[in-house]
A and B are shown apart, each in its own frame.
Chain A
Amino acid sequence: MFALYLRDVRLALRSGSGTANALAFFLLLVLLVSLGVGPGREGLAAVAPGMIWVGTLLSCLFSLDRMFVPDHDDGVLEVLVTGPAPVEGIAAAKALAHWTTIGLPLTAASPFFAYLFSLPAGAYPWLVLSIAMGTPALSFIGMFSAALTFPLRRGSLLLSLLVLPMYLPTLILGVQTVKLAAVGASMLPVLLFLGGVTLIAVAATPFAAAFALRANLG
Protein backbone atom coordinates (compact mmCIF):
# COMPACT_ATOMS: atom_id res chain seq x y z
CA MET A 1 0.00 0.00 0.00
CA PHE A 2 2.81 2.36 0.92
CA ALA A 3 4.62 1.23 -2.22
CA LEU A 4 1.56 2.15 -4.26
CA TYR A 5 1.37 5.55 -2.53
CA LEU A 6 5.02 6.28 -3.35
CA ARG A 7 4.57 5.14 -6.95
CA ASP A 8 1.56 7.37 -7.47
CA VAL A 9 3.26 10.36 -5.89
CA ARG A 10 6.33 9.88 -8.08
CA LEU A 11 4.26 9.54 -11.22
CA ALA A 12 2.22 12.67 -10.42
CA LEU A 13 5.37 14.72 -9.82
CA ARG A 14 6.83 13.74 -13.20
CA SER A 15 6.52 16.16 -16.04
CA GLY A 16 3.20 16.83 -17.67
CA SER A 17 0.86 15.54 -15.03
CA GLY A 18 -0.76 16.12 -11.68
CA THR A 19 0.91 18.77 -9.59
CA ALA A 20 2.21 21.02 -12.34
CA ASN A 21 -1.14 20.95 -14.14
CA ALA A 22 -3.08 21.84 -11.01
CA LEU A 23 -0.84 24.78 -10.15
CA ALA A 24 -0.80 26.04 -13.72
CA PHE A 25 -4.57 25.83 -13.85
CA PHE A 26 -4.85 27.82 -10.65
CA LEU A 27 -2.50 30.53 -11.89
CA LEU A 28 -4.50 30.81 -15.09
CA LEU A 29 -7.68 31.18 -13.07
CA VAL A 30 -6.16 33.94 -10.94
CA LEU A 31 -5.01 35.77 -14.05
CA LEU A 32 -8.33 35.50 -15.83
CA VAL A 33 -10.42 36.42 -12.81
CA SER A 34 -8.33 39.48 -12.01
CA LEU A 35 -8.65 40.60 -15.63
CA GLY A 36 -12.36 39.81 -15.61
CA VAL A 37 -13.20 41.52 -12.33
CA GLY A 38 -11.10 44.50 -13.34
CA PRO A 39 -8.62 46.60 -11.36
CA GLY A 40 -9.28 47.69 -7.79
CA ARG A 41 -8.32 45.81 -4.68
CA GLU A 42 -11.80 45.99 -3.14
CA GLY A 43 -13.47 44.10 -5.97
CA LEU A 44 -10.83 41.35 -5.90
CA ALA A 45 -10.79 41.09 -2.11
CA ALA A 46 -14.56 40.62 -2.09
CA VAL A 47 -14.41 37.58 -4.38
CA ALA A 48 -11.08 36.27 -3.01
CA PRO A 49 -12.35 33.56 -0.61
CA GLY A 50 -14.81 32.20 -3.14
CA MET A 51 -12.37 32.27 -6.06
CA ILE A 52 -9.54 30.61 -4.15
CA TRP A 53 -11.83 27.82 -3.02
CA VAL A 54 -13.43 27.36 -6.42
CA GLY A 55 -9.96 27.22 -7.95
CA THR A 56 -8.84 24.60 -5.45
CA LEU A 57 -11.96 22.56 -6.08
CA LEU A 58 -11.65 22.68 -9.86
CA SER A 59 -7.94 21.84 -9.75
CA CYS A 60 -8.83 18.75 -7.74
CA LEU A 61 -11.73 17.89 -10.02
CA PHE A 62 -9.74 18.07 -13.26
CA SER A 63 -7.06 15.73 -11.95
CA LEU A 64 -9.51 13.05 -10.81
CA ASP A 65 -9.99 11.23 -14.08
CA ARG A 66 -6.26 10.45 -14.11
CA MET A 67 -6.57 8.52 -10.86
CA PHE A 68 -7.79 5.14 -12.10
CA VAL A 69 -8.17 5.44 -15.88
CA PRO A 70 -4.48 5.08 -16.90
CA ASP A 71 -3.94 2.19 -14.49
CA HIS A 72 -7.07 0.52 -15.76
CA ASP A 73 -5.99 0.92 -19.39
CA ASP A 74 -2.56 -0.55 -18.64
CA GLY A 75 -3.99 -3.49 -16.71
CA VAL A 76 -2.29 -2.33 -13.49
CA LEU A 77 -5.55 -1.97 -11.61
CA GLU A 78 -6.59 -5.61 -11.83
CA VAL A 79 -3.15 -6.56 -10.60
CA LEU A 80 -3.45 -4.17 -7.65
CA VAL A 81 -6.85 -5.54 -6.71
CA THR A 82 -5.67 -9.16 -6.84
CA GLY A 83 -2.55 -8.35 -4.84
CA PRO A 84 -1.91 -8.75 -1.11
CA ALA A 85 -3.17 -5.29 -0.11
CA PRO A 86 -6.86 -4.89 0.79
CA VAL A 87 -8.80 -3.03 -1.90
CA GLU A 88 -9.82 -0.45 0.71
CA GLY A 89 -6.13 0.20 1.31
CA ILE A 90 -5.49 0.63 -2.40
CA ALA A 91 -8.34 3.13 -2.62
CA ALA A 92 -7.03 5.05 0.41
CA ALA A 93 -3.46 5.03 -0.95
CA LYS A 94 -4.70 6.46 -4.25
CA ALA A 95 -6.64 9.24 -2.50
CA LEU A 96 -3.74 10.02 -0.19
CA ALA A 97 -1.34 10.22 -3.13
CA HIS A 98 -3.80 12.57 -4.86
CA TRP A 99 -3.90 14.79 -1.80
CA THR A 100 -0.10 14.78 -1.46
CA THR A 101 0.37 15.81 -5.09
CA ILE A 102 -2.59 18.19 -5.53
CA GLY A 103 -4.05 19.23 -2.17
CA LEU A 104 -0.75 19.79 -0.39
CA PRO A 105 0.88 21.92 -3.13
CA LEU A 106 -2.33 23.96 -3.41
CA THR A 107 -2.32 24.47 0.35
CA ALA A 108 1.29 25.58 0.21
CA ALA A 109 0.58 27.92 -2.70
CA SER A 110 -2.61 29.37 -1.24
CA PRO A 111 -0.96 32.36 0.55
CA PHE A 112 0.55 33.35 -2.78
CA PHE A 113 -2.85 33.15 -4.49
CA ALA A 114 -4.41 35.02 -1.58
CA TYR A 115 -1.83 37.77 -2.09
CA LEU A 116 -2.71 37.97 -5.79
CA PHE A 117 -6.37 38.32 -4.80
CA SER A 118 -5.59 41.00 -2.13
CA LEU A 119 -7.15 38.97 0.68
CA PRO A 120 -7.03 40.85 4.02
CA ALA A 121 -3.84 39.83 5.87
CA GLY A 122 -5.69 38.61 8.96
CA ALA A 123 -7.41 35.85 6.97
CA TYR A 124 -4.21 34.23 5.63
CA PRO A 125 -3.66 31.64 8.36
CA TRP A 126 -7.32 30.64 8.30
CA LEU A 127 -7.32 30.34 4.55
CA VAL A 128 -4.31 28.00 4.67
CA LEU A 129 -5.84 26.02 7.51
CA SER A 130 -9.22 25.70 5.82
CA ILE A 131 -7.64 24.52 2.56
CA ALA A 132 -5.40 22.08 4.44
CA MET A 133 -8.45 20.71 6.25
CA GLY A 134 -10.79 20.72 3.26
CA THR A 135 -8.64 19.27 0.46
CA PRO A 136 -8.43 15.73 1.93
CA ALA A 137 -12.22 15.58 1.62
CA LEU A 138 -11.93 16.67 -2.01
CA SER A 139 -9.35 13.93 -2.70
CA PHE A 140 -11.24 11.13 -0.95
CA ILE A 141 -14.70 12.01 -2.30
CA GLY A 142 -13.16 12.47 -5.72
CA MET A 143 -11.40 9.11 -5.46
CA PHE A 144 -14.72 7.44 -4.69
CA SER A 145 -16.39 9.07 -7.70
CA ALA A 146 -13.44 8.17 -9.91
CA ALA A 147 -13.73 4.56 -8.73
CA LEU A 148 -17.35 4.57 -9.85
CA THR A 149 -16.75 5.99 -13.31
CA PHE A 150 -13.30 4.80 -14.46
CA PRO A 151 -14.44 2.01 -16.84
CA LEU A 152 -16.62 4.39 -18.86
CA ARG A 153 -15.20 5.88 -22.02
CA ARG A 154 -15.52 9.64 -21.64
CA GLY A 155 -16.64 9.23 -18.07
CA SER A 156 -15.34 12.64 -16.99
CA LEU A 157 -18.65 14.40 -17.55
CA LEU A 158 -20.43 11.89 -15.35
CA LEU A 159 -17.58 12.16 -12.87
CA SER A 160 -18.01 15.95 -12.65
CA LEU A 161 -21.76 15.66 -12.21
CA LEU A 162 -21.35 13.02 -9.53
CA VAL A 163 -18.68 14.80 -7.60
CA LEU A 164 -20.02 18.36 -7.55
CA PRO A 165 -22.92 17.85 -5.12
CA MET A 166 -20.61 15.96 -2.80
CA TYR A 167 -18.07 18.79 -2.98
CA LEU A 168 -20.62 21.44 -2.01
CA PRO A 169 -20.42 21.11 1.81
CA THR A 170 -16.64 21.46 1.72
CA LEU A 171 -16.86 24.44 -0.64
CA ILE A 172 -19.52 26.26 1.38
CA LEU A 173 -17.85 25.67 4.73
CA GLY A 174 -14.40 26.52 3.36
CA VAL A 175 -15.52 29.78 1.79
CA GLN A 176 -17.48 30.70 4.90
CA THR A 177 -14.43 30.15 7.12
CA VAL A 178 -12.31 32.50 5.05
CA LYS A 179 -15.07 35.10 4.70
CA LEU A 180 -15.65 35.22 8.44
CA ALA A 181 -11.90 35.41 9.08
CA ALA A 182 -11.59 38.25 6.57
CA VAL A 183 -14.04 40.40 8.54
CA GLY A 184 -12.54 39.31 11.86
CA ALA A 185 -15.52 37.27 13.06
CA SER A 186 -15.30 33.93 14.83
CA MET A 187 -14.97 31.17 12.24
CA LEU A 188 -14.11 28.28 14.55
CA PRO A 189 -17.49 26.44 14.44
CA VAL A 190 -17.50 26.55 10.64
CA LEU A 191 -13.90 25.35 10.50
CA LEU A 192 -14.75 22.45 12.80
CA PHE A 193 -17.66 21.46 10.57
CA LEU A 194 -15.27 21.55 7.63
CA GLY A 195 -12.96 19.20 9.51
CA GLY A 196 -15.94 16.98 10.30
CA VAL A 197 -16.86 16.63 6.63
CA THR A 198 -13.26 15.69 5.88
CA LEU A 199 -13.18 13.06 8.64
CA ILE A 200 -16.38 11.48 7.39
CA ALA A 201 -15.07 11.43 3.82
CA VAL A 202 -11.73 9.92 4.84
CA ALA A 203 -13.40 7.28 6.98
CA ALA A 204 -16.17 6.22 4.62
CA THR A 205 -15.03 6.61 1.01
CA PRO A 206 -12.28 3.92 0.92
CA PHE A 207 -14.88 1.26 1.75
CA ALA A 208 -17.41 2.59 -0.76
CA ALA A 209 -14.68 2.91 -3.39
CA ALA A 210 -13.53 -0.67 -2.76
CA PHE A 211 -17.03 -1.92 -3.55
CA ALA A 212 -17.10 0.20 -6.70
CA LEU A 213 -13.67 -1.05 -7.80
CA ARG A 214 -14.61 -4.70 -7.33
CA ALA A 215 -17.93 -4.27 -9.12
CA ASN A 216 -16.28 -2.43 -12.01
CA LEU A 217 -13.46 -4.93 -12.46
CA GLY A 218 -15.64 -8.05 -12.23
Chain B
Amino acid sequence: MRARMLVGAYERPKMHIGQRLGLHRLQKGLGVNIEVVNLACRRGRRIVFSGLNFRVRENQCLVIIGDNGTGKSTLLHCLAGLLRPAAGAVAADIDEMVLLGHRDAVTARMSTSEHLRFWADFYGTDAGGAIKKASDALGLAPLLDRAAYELSAGQRRRLGLARIIVSGRRNWLLDEPTTALDVPSQARFMEFLTMHLEDGGRAVVTGHSSGGMDEFPSVDLTAHGQSAPQGTPAAVDDFTPEEI
Protein backbone atom coordinates (compact mmCIF):
# COMPACT_ATOMS: atom_id res chain seq x y z
CA MET B 1 0.00 0.00 0.00
CA ARG B 2 2.79 2.34 0.95
CA ALA B 3 4.71 1.60 -2.19
CA ARG B 4 1.60 2.16 -4.25
CA MET B 5 1.11 5.64 -2.93
CA LEU B 6 4.71 6.52 -3.65
CA VAL B 7 4.43 5.22 -7.17
CA GLY B 8 1.31 7.29 -7.58
CA ALA B 9 3.19 10.32 -6.40
CA TYR B 10 5.89 9.71 -8.98
CA GLU B 11 3.35 9.37 -11.73
CA ARG B 12 2.21 12.93 -11.22
CA PRO B 13 5.41 14.78 -10.45
CA LYS B 14 5.12 18.46 -9.75
CA MET B 15 5.44 20.55 -12.89
CA HIS B 16 8.84 22.01 -12.82
CA ILE B 17 10.36 24.69 -15.01
CA GLY B 18 13.09 22.26 -16.05
CA GLN B 19 10.46 19.70 -16.89
CA ARG B 20 8.61 22.07 -19.16
CA LEU B 21 11.90 22.65 -20.91
CA GLY B 22 12.31 18.92 -21.39
CA LEU B 23 14.42 18.05 -18.38
CA HIS B 24 12.17 15.80 -16.38
CA ARG B 25 12.40 15.49 -12.62
CA LEU B 26 15.46 17.44 -11.63
CA GLN B 27 16.88 16.53 -8.31
CA LYS B 28 20.17 17.70 -6.90
CA GLY B 29 22.85 16.11 -4.80
CA LEU B 30 25.51 13.45 -5.00
CA GLY B 31 23.52 11.08 -2.82
CA VAL B 32 20.62 10.90 -5.24
CA ASN B 33 20.17 7.45 -6.72
CA ILE B 34 18.94 6.77 -10.22
CA GLU B 35 15.34 5.69 -9.78
CA VAL B 36 13.04 4.63 -12.53
CA VAL B 37 9.38 4.13 -11.70
CA ASN B 38 6.87 2.56 -14.06
CA LEU B 39 8.73 4.08 -16.98
CA ALA B 40 7.52 3.89 -20.55
CA CYS B 41 9.34 5.46 -23.48
CA ARG B 42 8.27 6.29 -26.94
CA ARG B 43 10.22 6.35 -30.18
CA GLY B 44 8.10 8.15 -32.74
CA ARG B 45 4.61 6.81 -32.12
CA ARG B 46 5.71 3.44 -30.87
CA ILE B 47 5.98 2.66 -27.17
CA VAL B 48 9.22 0.70 -27.08
CA PHE B 49 8.97 -0.46 -23.48
CA SER B 50 6.75 0.14 -20.51
CA GLY B 51 6.37 -0.75 -16.86
CA LEU B 52 10.08 -0.48 -16.16
CA ASN B 53 11.19 -0.17 -12.53
CA PHE B 54 14.67 -0.11 -11.12
CA ARG B 55 16.94 1.75 -8.84
CA VAL B 56 20.70 2.12 -9.08
CA ARG B 57 22.40 3.03 -5.82
CA GLU B 58 25.95 4.09 -5.11
CA ASN B 59 28.57 1.48 -6.05
CA GLN B 60 26.05 -0.24 -8.30
CA CYS B 61 26.06 -1.01 -11.98
CA LEU B 62 22.95 -2.13 -13.79
CA VAL B 63 23.25 -3.90 -17.11
CA ILE B 64 20.42 -3.35 -19.58
CA ILE B 65 20.03 -6.24 -21.99
CA GLY B 66 17.51 -6.93 -24.68
CA ASP B 67 17.20 -7.74 -28.35
CA ASN B 68 17.71 -5.14 -31.05
CA GLY B 69 15.05 -2.47 -31.00
CA THR B 70 13.85 -3.16 -27.48
CA GLY B 71 14.79 0.35 -26.41
CA LYS B 72 18.16 0.09 -24.68
CA SER B 73 19.51 3.28 -26.24
CA THR B 74 16.12 4.95 -25.84
CA LEU B 75 16.25 4.19 -22.13
CA LEU B 76 19.69 5.76 -21.82
CA HIS B 77 18.53 8.84 -23.73
CA CYS B 78 15.62 9.09 -21.35
CA LEU B 79 17.87 8.75 -18.30
CA ALA B 80 20.18 11.43 -19.70
CA GLY B 81 17.27 13.84 -20.00
CA LEU B 82 17.23 13.96 -23.78
CA LEU B 83 13.91 12.19 -24.08
CA ARG B 84 10.75 12.79 -22.12
CA PRO B 85 9.16 9.66 -20.67
CA ALA B 86 5.84 8.64 -22.20
CA ALA B 87 4.69 7.54 -18.73
CA GLY B 88 6.20 7.09 -15.31
CA ALA B 89 9.19 9.01 -14.09
CA VAL B 90 12.93 9.11 -13.73
CA ALA B 91 14.40 10.57 -10.59
CA ALA B 92 18.08 11.38 -10.72
CA ASP B 93 20.50 14.25 -10.42
CA ILE B 94 20.58 15.41 -14.00
CA ASP B 95 23.89 17.21 -13.41
CA GLU B 96 25.60 13.96 -12.51
CA MET B 97 24.54 12.07 -15.62
CA VAL B 98 26.99 11.54 -18.43
CA LEU B 99 26.05 9.69 -21.59
CA LEU B 100 28.23 7.72 -23.97
CA GLY B 101 25.95 7.07 -26.95
CA HIS B 102 26.55 4.62 -29.75
CA ARG B 103 28.43 7.39 -31.53
CA ASP B 104 31.64 8.39 -29.81
CA ALA B 105 31.19 12.18 -29.85
CA VAL B 106 34.58 12.41 -31.50
CA THR B 107 35.30 15.16 -34.05
CA ALA B 108 37.45 13.95 -36.93
CA ARG B 109 39.52 17.11 -37.27
CA MET B 110 40.49 17.47 -33.63
CA SER B 111 43.41 15.66 -32.03
CA THR B 112 43.07 13.35 -29.05
CA SER B 113 44.57 15.86 -26.62
CA GLU B 114 42.36 18.64 -28.01
CA HIS B 115 39.35 16.45 -27.33
CA LEU B 116 40.41 15.80 -23.75
CA ARG B 117 41.16 19.47 -23.09
CA PHE B 118 37.90 20.61 -24.64
CA TRP B 119 35.81 18.17 -22.60
CA ALA B 120 37.65 19.12 -19.40
CA ASP B 121 36.93 22.81 -20.07
CA PHE B 122 33.36 22.04 -21.06
CA TYR B 123 32.62 20.02 -17.93
CA GLY B 124 34.61 22.43 -15.80
CA THR B 125 36.96 19.78 -14.44
CA ASP B 126 40.64 20.19 -13.70
CA ALA B 127 42.16 19.77 -17.17
CA GLY B 128 45.62 18.43 -16.29
CA GLY B 129 44.50 15.88 -13.72
CA ALA B 130 41.47 14.66 -15.62
CA ILE B 131 43.38 14.26 -18.87
CA LYS B 132 46.18 12.36 -17.13
CA LYS B 133 43.70 10.09 -15.41
CA ALA B 134 41.72 9.41 -18.57
CA SER B 135 44.71 8.78 -20.81
CA ASP B 136 46.27 6.48 -18.18
CA ALA B 137 43.05 4.54 -17.73
CA LEU B 138 42.57 3.99 -21.45
CA GLY B 139 46.13 3.91 -22.74
CA LEU B 140 45.66 7.04 -24.84
CA ALA B 141 49.13 8.48 -24.17
CA PRO B 142 50.67 7.35 -27.50
CA LEU B 143 47.67 8.75 -29.39
CA LEU B 144 47.57 12.23 -27.84
CA ASP B 145 48.94 14.13 -30.84
CA ARG B 146 47.02 12.17 -33.42
CA ALA B 147 44.00 13.63 -35.21
CA ALA B 148 40.82 11.67 -34.62
CA TYR B 149 40.41 10.76 -38.28
CA GLU B 150 43.64 8.77 -38.00
CA LEU B 151 42.25 6.66 -35.16
CA SER B 152 40.80 3.21 -35.60
CA ALA B 153 37.24 2.45 -34.48
CA GLY B 154 38.48 0.94 -31.23
CA GLN B 155 40.77 3.89 -30.54
CA ARG B 156 37.90 6.29 -31.18
CA ARG B 157 35.79 4.31 -28.74
CA ARG B 158 38.53 4.65 -26.14
CA LEU B 159 38.61 8.39 -26.72
CA GLY B 160 34.81 8.43 -26.35
CA LEU B 161 35.15 6.58 -23.06
CA ALA B 162 37.83 9.04 -21.94
CA ARG B 163 35.21 11.79 -21.99
CA ILE B 164 33.20 9.87 -19.41
CA ILE B 165 36.19 9.94 -17.06
CA VAL B 166 37.12 13.56 -17.86
CA SER B 167 33.56 14.71 -17.15
CA GLY B 168 34.01 13.94 -13.46
CA ARG B 169 30.34 12.99 -13.27
CA ARG B 170 29.18 10.11 -11.12
CA ASN B 171 26.30 8.50 -13.02
CA TRP B 172 27.59 6.85 -16.15
CA LEU B 173 25.18 5.91 -18.92
CA LEU B 174 27.12 3.77 -21.36
CA ASP B 175 25.65 2.45 -24.59
CA GLU B 176 27.49 -0.76 -25.46
CA PRO B 177 30.80 0.67 -24.24
CA THR B 178 32.95 -2.27 -25.28
CA THR B 179 31.98 -2.14 -28.98
CA ALA B 180 35.11 -2.30 -31.15
CA LEU B 181 37.41 -2.58 -28.12
CA ASP B 182 40.18 -5.16 -28.19
CA VAL B 183 40.65 -7.62 -25.33
CA PRO B 184 43.22 -5.58 -23.35
CA SER B 185 41.04 -2.45 -23.69
CA GLN B 186 37.99 -4.36 -22.51
CA ALA B 187 39.94 -5.45 -19.46
CA ARG B 188 41.04 -1.84 -18.89
CA PHE B 189 37.45 -0.70 -19.23
CA MET B 190 36.26 -3.23 -16.65
CA GLU B 191 39.05 -2.08 -14.37
CA PHE B 192 38.11 1.59 -14.43
CA LEU B 193 34.40 0.82 -14.28
CA THR B 194 35.05 -1.20 -11.09
CA MET B 195 37.18 1.64 -9.73
CA HIS B 196 34.43 4.15 -10.49
CA LEU B 197 31.85 2.01 -8.70
CA GLU B 198 34.13 1.60 -5.69
CA ASP B 199 34.46 5.39 -5.55
CA GLY B 200 30.71 5.65 -5.05
CA GLY B 201 29.71 5.97 -8.69
CA ARG B 202 26.70 4.51 -10.43
CA ALA B 203 26.46 3.09 -13.92
CA VAL B 204 23.82 1.93 -16.34
CA VAL B 205 25.37 -0.07 -19.15
CA THR B 206 23.70 -1.65 -22.16
CA GLY B 207 24.76 -4.82 -23.94
CA HIS B 208 23.26 -7.55 -26.05
CA SER B 209 23.88 -10.12 -23.38
CA SER B 210 25.51 -9.38 -20.09
CA GLY B 211 28.72 -10.89 -21.48
CA GLY B 212 31.74 -9.81 -19.47
CA MET B 213 29.53 -8.17 -16.88
CA ASP B 214 27.84 -11.22 -15.42
CA GLU B 215 28.64 -10.04 -11.93
CA PHE B 216 26.23 -7.09 -12.25
CA PRO B 217 22.44 -7.33 -11.99
CA SER B 218 20.64 -6.95 -15.27
CA VAL B 219 17.27 -5.91 -16.64
CA ASP B 220 16.00 -7.51 -19.84
CA LEU B 221 14.04 -4.95 -21.87
CA THR B 222 12.66 -7.68 -24.12
CA ALA B 223 10.34 -8.52 -21.24
CA HIS B 224 9.04 -4.94 -21.19
CA GLY B 225 8.23 -4.58 -24.87
CA GLN B 226 4.72 -4.28 -26.22
CA SER B 227 4.54 -7.95 -27.12
CA ALA B 228 5.60 -8.99 -23.63
CA PRO B 229 2.91 -9.74 -21.05
CA GLN B 230 2.32 -6.66 -18.92
CA GLY B 231 2.15 -7.15 -15.21
CA THR B 232 4.14 -6.73 -12.08
CA PRO B 233 7.82 -6.06 -12.70
CA ALA B 234 8.84 -9.44 -11.38
CA ALA B 235 12.04 -9.60 -13.36
CA VAL B 236 13.59 -6.80 -11.37
CA ASP B 237 13.00 -8.14 -7.88
CA ASP B 238 16.12 -6.46 -6.56
CA PHE B 239 14.86 -3.08 -7.73
CA THR B 240 11.12 -3.12 -7.05
CA PRO B 241 9.48 0.15 -6.01
CA GLU B 242 8.72 -1.34 -2.59
CA GLU B 243 12.21 -0.35 -1.57
CA ILE B 244 11.80 3.26 -2.45
Q: Which of B92-138 contact A (CB under 8 A)?
A: 95, 97-99, 101-110, 114, 118, 121-124
Closest to A86 in B: B21
Main secondary structure on B side of the interface with A: loop
Q: Hey, what's the 0/1 contact readout for A99-113 against B, CB within 8 Å counting as 1? A: 000000000000000
Most B CB contacts (10 A, CB to CB) among A6, A73, A74, A215 go to A74
- Taking the complex as formed, is A32 at the interface, i.e. its CB lies under 8 A from any CB of chain B? no
Asked if A84 and B107 sit within 8 Å, CB to CB, the answer is: no
- Taking the complex as formed, is B83 at the interface, i.e. its CB lies under 8 A from any CB of chain A? yes
**In the complex, chain A residues whose CB is within 8 Å of the CB of B195:** none
A75-83, A155-163, A168-176 - the one binding chain B: A75-83
Asked if A217 and B82 sit within 8 Å, CB to CB, the answer is: yes
Alpha-carbon distance A79/B227, docked complex (angstroms):
32
Classify chain A: how many residues form its interface, as a range: 20 to 34
Query: How near does chain A come to B99, taking the closest CB pair, in angstroms?
Result: 6
**In the complex, chain A residues whose CB is within 8 Å of the CB of B105:** 74-76, 78-79
Q: Which of A70, A74, A81 contacts B104 (CB 8 A)?
A: A74
Alpha-carbon distance A125/B82, docked complex (angstroms):
47
Closest to B117 in A: A3
Q: Hey, what's the 0/1 contact readout for A160-190 against B, CB within 8 Å counting as 1? A: 0000000000000000000000000000000
Asked if A75 and B103 sit within 8 Å, CB to CB, the answer is: yes
Closest to B167 in A: A83
Query: How near does chain A come to B168, taking the closest CB pair, in angstroms?
Result: 10
Asked if A3 and B109 sit within 8 Å, CB to CB, the answer is: no
Asked if A3 and B98 sit within 8 Å, CB to CB, the answer is: no
Alpha-carbon distance A7/B105, docked complex (angstroms):
14
Known A3-B121, A83-B122: A218·B84 in contact at CB below 8 Å: yes
Q: Hey, what's the 0/1 contact readout for A50-94 against B, CB within 8 Å counting as 1? A: 000000000000000000001101111011111111000000000
Q: Which of B77, B99, B107 contacts A11 (CB 8 A)?
A: B107
Asked if A11 and B104 sit within 8 Å, CB to CB, the answer is: no
- Taking the complex as formed, is B65 at the interface, i.e. its CB lies under 8 A from any CB of chain A? no
Asked if A214 and B21 sit within 8 Å, CB to CB, the answer is: yes
Alpha-carbon distance A3/B167, docked complex (angstroms):
14
Asked if B109 and A218 sit within 8 Å, CB to CB, the answer is: no
Q: Which of B142-179 contact A (CB under 8 A)?
A: 163, 167
- Taking the complex as formed, is B22 at the interface, i.e. its CB lies under 8 A from any CB of chain A? yes
Alpha-carbon distance A71/B124, docked complex (angstroms):
20
Query: How near does chain A come to B181, taking the closest CB pair, in angstroms?
Result: 17
Asked if B110 and A11 sit within 8 Å, CB to CB, the answer is: yes
- Taking the complex as formed, is A4 at the interface, i.e. its CB lies under 8 A from any CB of chain B? yes
Most B CB contacts (10 A, CB to CB) among A7, A70, A71, A210 go to A7
**In the complex, chain B residues whose CB is within 8 Å of the CB of A78:** 77, 80, 82, 99, 101, 105
Alpha-carbon distance A73/B118, docked complex (angstroms):
18
Interface residues in chain B, defined as those with a beta carbon under 8 Å from any beta carbon in chain A: 21-22, 77, 80-84, 95, 97-99, 101-110, 114, 118, 121-124, 163, 167
Show 19 residue pairs from A and B whose CB-CB distance is below 8 angstroms, ordered by the A residue.
Answer: A2-B121, A73-B103, A74-B103, A74-B105, A75-B102, A75-B106, A76-B106, A78-B105, A79-B101, A79-B105, A79-B163, A83-B123, A84-B95, A210-B21, A211-B21, A215-B22, A218-B22, A218-B83, A218-B84
